[in-house]
Structure 1
Amino acid sequence: MTTLELSGRTALVTGAAQGLGAAIAEGLHARGAQVALLDHDARANGETAARLGDRALAITADLADLDRLDDACAEAVRGLGPVDILVNNAAMAPMRGLWDIDPAEWDAVFAVNVRAAFFLTRALAEPMRSRGFGRIVNIASLSGQQARPTGAHYGVSKAALLAMTRSFAAELAADGVTVNAVAPGMIETPMVHTIGAEKQAELAAQIPVGRIAHPAEIAGLVAYLSTDDAGFITGATYDINGGVFMR
């Protein structure tokens, strides 16, 4: 295989119906992979899979439902074959102040952002290691690296995802399975569009490169980390934030 060539590989992407998840699914698919799109929004997910066409499979599941996650993995394997690439992208991101976060919302954010990623990774990594190949990419966030005045549960969950990335990477490194994280800053997605053009411009002005990221830019990095060429990279976090956080 050559760089960014994924023919013969099968990927599962969570939160793939729209936004960044859809861009990641499209990027993997465009490079030759079969892609299972996992999302709770059946209509939007089906539309995205239909747009991709052949080699795409829409699977509807609530990521907070652990029993359904096992069924979804089995459905992906039945439809497309063994999963070689897992992208844990799905996330809840309610922006609420510290004193306004209730226990139910805290638990819901962690169920989707952390627990689902943990159990999906564990379910799919075992057959990956038995085959001697696997690529797992966790979509974290700048919010998991820097403090924000709102969305504490989102930020803490993304920090937990970074720690989980390293734990699985250490466990699987000797078996040909890599585990890495991508931590984007602000991305041009439907969620960002809700804040209005004026606020978008104000936020973009605070980014050293002077603009918000395009989803395809994050998708390109995920695609590279999914290839054979990235086999010596594991346990890493890739910052893709336009220079907001440099280290």
Structure 2
Amino acid sequence: MPNHIRVEILRMLRNKRYVIFVVAFPVVLYVLFCNIVAGQASSGGGGAAAYLMVSMGAYGALSASIMSTAVPWAQERQAGWLRQLQITPLPGWSIILTKLVSTLLLALPSLALVFVVAMTTQGVSLAPGRWALLFLGMWIGILPFAALGLAVGSLVPPDTAQPAAMIGMFGLAILGGLWFPVDTMPATMQTIAHALPSFSYADIGWNLVSGQAPPLQDVVTTLVWAVVLGAAAVFAYRRATARA
């Protein structure tokens, strides 16, 4: 399984679209938003720059987790790679676990780069312990989105997987308040936002960066979505393997 994980990671790192749109794009958005908004507030640990750091870090990690699973998984099914894996000694659960572990690792560059840019260019300063909690919480919190990517990649063909993944990615980011504050949305959209895993995921980070414990509701919502989408991914995978 370690060799399988290494192959998955190297393949995505060689993908220019992944590097540009998943790793670099959130950083560009972060700097742009900071120049527009953060100058109106303090750039310390609880200021606008820190808030935007969490928002764009969440967007980058969310994008990486969906795009690094949905499209490659759909392509592998069509190319017959899934059938090849099925005839190897690898058990079915290890194939899914490999994808999840690879996704967790592939989300690191985007998340870490936004944090480094926030520290070095925007003056965001947190205690070492708070940095560690923030990074760990936002890293583990991408599991629902990785499961969503696997489900999409198992259910649709490659030419449909990319637009489906992008719609899901941008929809979760915009409706979840990662690009625009939820408080500025109409009441109905606010209700929708609070039910989405993207808002709960980012809200965990927003609370951690301000020195507060994550709300229990956010933790529960993220876990529930992880279980629901994880079950959907397993079901979709079994359906895909039955047809393979």
**Aligning the two structures, in what range does the TM-score lie when normalised by the shorter sequence?**
0.3 to 0.5
Higher-Rg structure is 2
TM-score, normalised on structure 2? 0.33
Higher helix share: 2
Q: Give the structure with the larger strand fraction.
A: 1
Higher relative contact order (CA 8 A, sep 6+): 2
| TM-score relative to the length of structure 1 | 0.33
